[in-house]
């Protein structure tokens, strides 16, 4: 056998990237989706060992983790890998990673950046028009053959002129605003602080924002501060003509209270891509035509996944080549969004 080309090290010499749980892209595209000639994957989920034992066995060989929303990178996990220097996540949100522990240990985090922002914003608009104009319900109506027997379909409500309040004016929130302005909506927002170069009215208080809008769009990050941020008071301020859309993270809303408001008609409707206990969805919502739901897929397009593939491989290859990461996360700053 000819000796191996030294510029192409054998598979066995490649550095490891740990994966705790297969990311959604593996489920869809197979586990060669992020393949590279610069690293190989170490799949904890394929080992029969308990995770802690597995990590201890590989403690001296893991410098990088590829993580996703469904696989938390906790402080306990991090502590088992003294050489860990990089966490790459396939999500825009970072709420599944213990960022304080990363900061403390000088571990760098790379996110999916803003590649999902446009798709998320498109989903927001689709869900909002759908709730207002009963699009999914109309599709069911026609497909069940009811048009010829039942005649006129109930009226919807116009999107133009609606006052839209955006909770979290980060990259997704800004894309939502840009789109909804083209429909003639007026935009206002809530955020941790007022944006310096933004002319939209700012509300420091979410309840006040809700009281002054017809549709509330949740685009903020899930953090300790935003957990159950949308509670009974906010929903009550939004009122019975108000619509809510959440494409951020389920636990930002008090889901029990949301369900009660929807069932009892205390708000007009909701467009929901995320839930508190995914993939479990409150059954009470199944029969409601004024609730439009999707299975946390606001970012699930072919185009986004191709962008993601390039970004993940690019970040990992950059790391192992001692080059700057493509989308490093500034750990001193809170993220604006979970995607």
Instruction: Compute the least distance from the CB of residue 145 to a second copy, in Å.
Output: 7
Nearer to a second copy, 189 or 319 (CB): 189
Nearer to a second copy, 46 or 139 (CB): 139
Nearer to a second copy, 111 or 117 (CB): 117
- Eight-state DSSP code of residue 155: P
Backbone phi, psi, residue 244, to 5°: -125, 140
Instruction: Compute the least distance from the CB of residue 204 to a second copy, in Å.
Output: 28
Q: Identify residues 312-331 at the interface with a second copy (CB under 8 A).
A: none
Residue 36 within binding range of a second copy, rule CB under 8 A: no
Residue 302 within binding range of a second copy, rule CB under 8 A: yes
Question: By rule CB under 8 A, what string of x and - marks binding of each residue 188-227 to a second copy?
Answer: ----------------------------------------
Report d(CA 265, CA 68) in Å as an integer: 36
Does the active-site annotation cover 227?
no
Q: Which residue has the tokens 């970040």?
A: 315
Binds a second copy by CB under 8 A, chosen from 263, 294, 317, 334: 294
Instruction: Compute the least distance from the CB of residue 51 to a second copy, in Å.
Output: 22
Residue 292 within binding range of a second copy, rule CB under 8 A: yes
Torsion sign (Cα): 43, 48, 51, 53: negative
Backbone phi, psi, residue 195, to 5°: -80, 130
CA contacts within 13 A on the Cβ side of 116: 26
Backbone phi, psi, residue 272, to 5°: -125, 120
Exactly one of 58, 96, 249, 268 is catalytic; name it: 249
Instruction: Compute the least distance from the CB of residue 227 to a second copy, in Å.
Output: 23
Q: Exposure of 196 by Cβ count < 10 A (0-12 exposed, 13-18 middle, 19+ buried)?
A: exposed
Instruction: Compute the least distance from the CB of residue 154 to a second copy, in Å.
Output: 8
Nearer to a second copy, 98 or 175 (CB): 175
Under 8 Å between Cβ of 207 and 233: yes
Nearer to a second copy, 80 or 135 (CB): 135
Residue 266 within binding range of a second copy, rule CB under 8 A: no
Count of residues engaged in binding a second copy, rule: CB under 8 A: 60
Q: How far is CA 45 from CA 50, 54, 70, in A?
A: 9, 10, 13
What is the edge-to-edge ordering of all strands in the sheet holding 202-203? 202-203, 186-190, 163-167, 215-218, 243-246, 269-272, 291-293
Question: By rule CB under 8 A, what string of x and - marks binding of each residue 119-158 to a second copy?
Answer: x--xx-xxx-xx--x-xx-xxxxxxxx-xx--xxx-xxxx
Torsion sign (Cα): 320, 321, 324, 327: negative
**What is the token pair recorded at 264?**
């009892």
- Eight-state DSSP code of residue 245: E
Does the active-site annotation cover 278?
yes
Binds a second copy by CB under 8 A, chosen from 37, 103, 297, 323: 297
Exactly one of 163, 278, 309, 317 is catalytic; name it: 278
Report d(CA 34, CA 310) in Å as an integer: 8
Residues classed as catalytic: 249, 278, 296
Residues in contact with a second copy by CB under 8 A are 24, 27-28, 118-119, 122-123, 125-127, 129-130, 133, 135-136, 138-145, 147-148, 151-153, 155-161, 178-179, 181-184, 278-281, 283, 285-287, 292-295, 297, 300-305
């Amino acid at each position: 056998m000819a000796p191996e080309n030294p510029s192409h090290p054998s598979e066995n010499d490649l550095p490891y990237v740990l994966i705790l749980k297969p990311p959604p892209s593996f489920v869809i595209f197979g586990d060669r989706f992020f393949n590279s000639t610069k690293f190989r994957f170490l799949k904890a989920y394929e080992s029969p060992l308990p995770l802690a034992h597995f990590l201890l066995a590989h403690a001296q060989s893991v410098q990088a983790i590829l993580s996703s929303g469904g696989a938390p990178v906790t402080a306990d996990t991090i502590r088992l890998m003294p050489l860990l220097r990089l966490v790459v996540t396939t999500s825009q949100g970072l709420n599944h990673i213990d960022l304080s522990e990363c900061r403390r240990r000088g571990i760098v985090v790379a996110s999916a950046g803003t590649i999902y922002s446009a798709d998320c914003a498109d989903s927001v608009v689709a869900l909002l028009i759908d709730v207002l104009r009963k699009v999914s319900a109309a599709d069911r109506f026609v497909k069940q053959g009811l048009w010829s027997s039942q005649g006129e379909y109930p009226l919807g409500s116009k999107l133009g002129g609606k006052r839209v309040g955006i909770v979290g004016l980060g990259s997704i929130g800004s894309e939502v605003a840009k789109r909804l302005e083209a429909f003639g909506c007026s935009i206002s927002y809530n955020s941790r602080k007022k944006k310096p170069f933004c002319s939209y009215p700012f509300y420091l208080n979410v309840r006040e924002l809700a009281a002054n809008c017809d549709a509330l769009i949740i685009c903020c990050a899930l953090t300790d501060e935003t957990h159950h941020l949308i509670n009974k008071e906010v929903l009550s301020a939004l009122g019975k003509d108000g619509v809510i859309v959440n494409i951020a993270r389920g636990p930002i809303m008090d889901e029990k209270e949301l369900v009660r408001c929807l069932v009892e008609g205390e708000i007009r409707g909701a467009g929901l891509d995320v839930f508190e206990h995914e993939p479990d969805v409150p059954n009470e919502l199944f029969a409601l035509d004024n609730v439009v739901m999707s299975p946390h897929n606001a970012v699930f397009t072919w185009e986004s996944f191709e962008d993601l593939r390039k970004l993940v491989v690019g970040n990992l290859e950059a790391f192992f080549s001692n080059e700057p990461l493509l989308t490093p996360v500034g750990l001193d700053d809170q993220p604006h969004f979970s995607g």
